[in-house]
Structure 1
Amino acid sequence: MEKAGIIQWLNLIVCVLLLLEAEGSLVPLTLVENAISQGAVCLDGSPPAYHFDKGVGEGINSWIVHMEGGGWCKDVNDCLGRKKSRLGSSNQMVEDIYFSGILNNDRQYNPDFYNWNRVLVRYCDGSSFTGDVEEVDPTNNLYFRGARIFSAVMEDLLAQGLEKAENAILTGCSAGGLTTILQCDNFKSLLPSGANVKCVPDAGYFINAKDISGAHFIEEFYSKVVSTHGSAKNLPAACISKLTPGLCFFPENVVSHISTPIFVVNSAYDSWQIQNILAPGAADPSDKWHSCKLDLRSCSSDQLRILQDFKEEFEKAVSVVGDSPSKGMFIDACFTHCQTLSTETWFKADSPHLANTTIGKAVGDWFYDRSPFSHVDCNYPCNPTCQNSVSDLKDHPGI
């Protein structure tokens, strides 16, 4: 091989090594086999699973538990579609995954949490870990047991050392972000009374907005999810006592009842919500929103006005979080979905910024009480630091 070719190959190898370093560590899958006896199983009856990378040094008694996302299934046919995938069966999950972003074990990319115990709980129930139906229909063999999975996994983690936690964060992305909100107080109740426990939902603040046709598409969808999975008994009681169960799947109706400190990370132009709540296919039969939903730069002036109205609705919905020091938010104007699990958007010089601060620094400062953080971005396309954010929804199925 010529010298120029060798140099090119060496440069390529260096680039790959740097990429792997930024992506973080490769972590094996752990199956919770004893959960089967509790009926705490995925849609297909297989055991729940998680990935666990142990903490070291000063982080040995600190924990991050991340709840994986991946949408929801609203009825039997919908759930049967997930049953043979990793979103419904641990038999279909890969053995090893990379930890990055808030789960990264490299101090350079995750200075506040790199040496903590870091867990990613796999998602295979389709209800944001809220369902619990005892009966199993023999014609479809679907198990709606999300809430049992949450309990069984936490029990397993407590035995792994979570019961001695001095610091702990429950977090999650998308449907896992919603889980973080709905299970926040429950998570805190499992840990020592003196532990510093907080919740950081990412891209899980789904709002109850009408779609472009004026229909209540997402409200009807959530109502079906809650009914199919028997979720009502596992939703916050303070909300259920006032509203219908389906409405208690919306963060805006439950977050004010949460007593545990919480920090909301979200885009006001969340790409999943724009594609599935504001402009779902059913509301756009002529497909006029197709290009706009993929790239906001392709939106017409009329579509941009509708998007700005959506942002105003989002701001109103998230305002109920409040502005006390125990609450926080990082609401940027980036057209993306989920930002804490990617090193590119979590803690790098060119990551999205608000108030000259990255998401990783904002969350770290808030968690350790170094300084509060509660900021909502200006209107699209005002934030130049959004240029490197990518809207990748392959792991977050639409509805």
Structure 2
Amino acid sequence: MKVMVVVMAMVLWILFFFTTPSYSYLYSREGLHGFEDLNLTELVYSSRMLPTSTGSNALPPPLMIPLTLIQGAAAKGAVCLDGTLPGYHLHPGYGSGANSWLIQLEGGGWCNSIRNCVYRKTTRRGSSTYMEKKLPFTGILSSKAEENPDFFNWNRVKLRYCDGASFSGDGQHEASKLNFRGQRIWLAGMEDLMSKGMSRATEALLSGCSAGGLASILHCDEFRELFPATTKVKCLSDAGFFLDAIDVSGGRTLRNMFEGVVRLQGVQKNLPQICTNHMDPTSCFFPQNLIASVKTPLFLLNAAYDAWQLQASLAPPSADPHGSWHDCKSNHAHCSASQIQYLQGIKCSML
């Protein structure tokens, strides 16, 4: 198994704090405990990719790609939290990229309780009813050669995220009318795309950001198995390397939340058996315990000082009731020596 790791250093952490708007609303009681909104990483990337200039020097608008609902999905039980059809956005490739495919798994947090999942199904993260009918294709999905020289003419797909368990759950809660069908959505999406030409791919890349980045690790080898041995297949996890780390209070905020996701949504049955044979299911939802067994070439891209994990997992308000980390989280220049030492330890854990 080949894993390439790129850990972005302190400069990107500095860049984050000085170039992005405030998203403090993400850490409300509802958002923090359910993680059901966009992960901070994805919000930052999205805000940077959209054109902001006005007037004669304005950048041309990005390509807007319509939503395609997977019509046969319901018969397979592959539905969003609220029972609506899942979907994706597809822009066909051409020329040298006609038989090359890039799949991006959308991110957007998780839901770990009935309450949080019931809320989530009233949003685009749990129902296709509320999804945008068109999405801008930017960054790695861009159709502009100058922005995206490697993939601009590939078949590019964004698979929408509406289950809340990184495309990995399989269960339901009848009393609350909740469908935990992430694994089935993944399978239905891949089956539909294979019927639309992906089966003829000569090269294919599975990517994802944040919760979608975790999904790209979980499904990497499954993706490889869709294709013949002659197809070149690789995976990319962007900001999806979530650590099973001790928070600043000595607790495990993210582990507790992931445990709720795994139990509630029936994720255990879809986790790699090579991991669950010797570790508990929650541990096998963390990338650090998965990557050694991934056989397909896997590229990991993650900030060394991951701002989202610092805000929501390592030093959330629940672990820092007196706010001693507030200034440090807002500006690294305000971190104490002991806080810097803690952050250095987290960076080493990434490596």
When normalised by structure 1's length, the TM-score is 0.73
- Secondary structure of the 1:288 match is coil
Distance in structure 2 (CA, Å) of the matches to 1:150 and 1:297 = 43
By how many angstroms is 1:140 displaced? 0.9
Distance in structure 2 (CA, Å) of the matches to 1:12 and 1:53 = 27
Distance in structure 2 (CA, Å) of the matches to 1:308 and 1:173 = 24
1:197 aligns with 2:233: yes
Distance in structure 1 (CA, Å) of the matches to 2:93 and 2:313 = 39
Pairs within 5 Å for 1:285-324? 285-315=321-351
The residue type equivalent to 1:61 in the other structure is: N
Runs of 4+ displaced beyond 4 Å: none
Match of 1:84 among 122, 129, 141: 122
When normalised by structure 2's length, the TM-score is 0.83
Structure 2, unpaired ranges of 5+: 1-52
Pairs within 5 Å for 1:7-18? 12-16=54-58, 18=59
Number of the residue aligned with 1:123: 161
Match of 1:43 among 55, 61, 81: 81
- Secondary structure of the 1:149 match is helix
Alignment RMSD (CA, Å): 1.3
Cα displacement string for residues 46-74 of structure 1 (whole angstroms, at most 9, x for unaligned residues)? 11011111101010000000000011111
Distance in structure 2 (CA, Å) of the matches to 1:15 and 1:180 = 37
Q: 1:165·1:192 contact (CA, 8 Å) conserved in 2? A: no
Q: How many correspondences in the alignment?
A: 299
Pairs within 5 Å for 1:244-393? 244-315=280-351
Distance in structure 2 (CA, Å) of the matches to 1:32 and 1:154 = 10
Per mean C-alpha deviation after superposition, the further-off stretch among 188-197 and 253-262 is 188-197
Number of the residue aligned with 1:67: 105
Distance in structure 1 (CA, Å) of the matches to 2:329 and 2:84 = 36
Number of the residue aligned with 1:395: none
Distance in structure 1 (CA, Å) of the matches to 2:314 and 2:287 = 17
Q: 1:168·1:197 contact (CA, 8 Å) conserved in 2? A: yes
* Identical positions, percent: 46
Distance in structure 2 (CA, Å) of the matches to 1:296 and 1:252 = 26
Number of the residue aligned with 2:152: 114
Number of the residue aligned with 1:180: 216
The residue type equivalent to 1:28 in the other structure is: P
Q: Which has the higher contact order (CA 8 A, sep 6+)?
A: 2
By how many angstroms is 1:19 displaced? 5.5
Structure 1, unpaired ranges of 5+: 1-10, 316-399
Number of the residue aligned with 1:359: none
By how many angstroms is 1:81 displaced? 1.6
By how many angstroms is 1:216 displaced? 1.8
The residue type equivalent to 1:295 in the other structure is: N
